A and B are shown apart, each in its own frame.
Chain A
Amino acid sequence: GALVYQYPRRTICKSGTSMRMECQAVGFQATSVAWYRQSPQKTFELIALSTVNSAIKYEQNFTQEKFPISHPNLSFSSMTVLNAYLEDRGLYLCGARRLGGRVYAEQFFGPGTRLTVL
């Protein structure tokens, strides 16, 4: 089956420091990986979308300078939260779309990385 793992599941960092999180697709190759954030009491919002053979596209209010993403192959992606502050806390989710699947196909999501900033 298709699974998405995220590491770490929970992490705490001091204000002003950086934190890297990983996303691994298992059992399939991901043509695209999307990173989302759920801030406290809010729904998930898209941070950026990384698609094979295309530049990483960031949503408004999110930048590469703040959330650099690496997508070296079809199974792995990582994102770093640079210079984290209180407003960066929340649950970070990655969602992957299967390579070679139907155009409109199910997305597979990892369990998320919960970031706490002190």
Chain B
Amino acid sequence: GQQVQQSPTSLVLQEGENAELQCNFSTSLNSMQWFYQRPGGSLISVFYNPSGTKQSGRLTSTTVIKERRSSLHISSSQITDSGTYLCAMGDTGNYKYVFGAGTRLKVIA
């Protein structure tokens, strides 16, 4: 079945540093989203980005369909960026998502 691999599993950054999170898919990509989840908190959609590059403030997502991968770049990280970042891909009919295991990000002062 479809698999979604995220890397790194966890990451600790000094405030102000940049982060690059990766998401790789085992099958052809039809749709994908990046989510942010605080510890014990709700899921917040960061980007819907099935292809190309999208930017929102300090966050940039790039999805390369042919290479079956997507990345999330966080520039000038802040302590409030700490949490878990999940990527998910939609199946052929896009009716359901397969989630990655997430990258746990901790930004320290």
Contact = CB atoms under 8 A, between A and B. Distances in A.
Contacts of B93: 103
B31 A43 contact: no
Contacts of A36: 97, 99
A43 B86 contact: yes
Interface stretch (A17-25, A75-83, A107-115): A107-115
Interface string B85-102: 010101001111111111
B43 interface: yes
Interface residues of B, number: 23
A114 B35 CA distance: 18
B43 A109 contact: yes
A107 B43 contact: no
Interface residues of A, number: 23
Contact of A32 (B50, B95, B98): B95
Given A109-B43, A109-B45, A111-B43, A103 B94 contact: yes
Interface string B55-97: 0000000000000000000000000000000101010011111
Interface of B: 30-31, 33, 35, 40, 42-43, 45, 48, 50, 86, 88, 90, 93-102
Interface of A: 32, 34, 36, 42-46, 49, 51, 93, 95, 97, 103-109, 111-112, 114
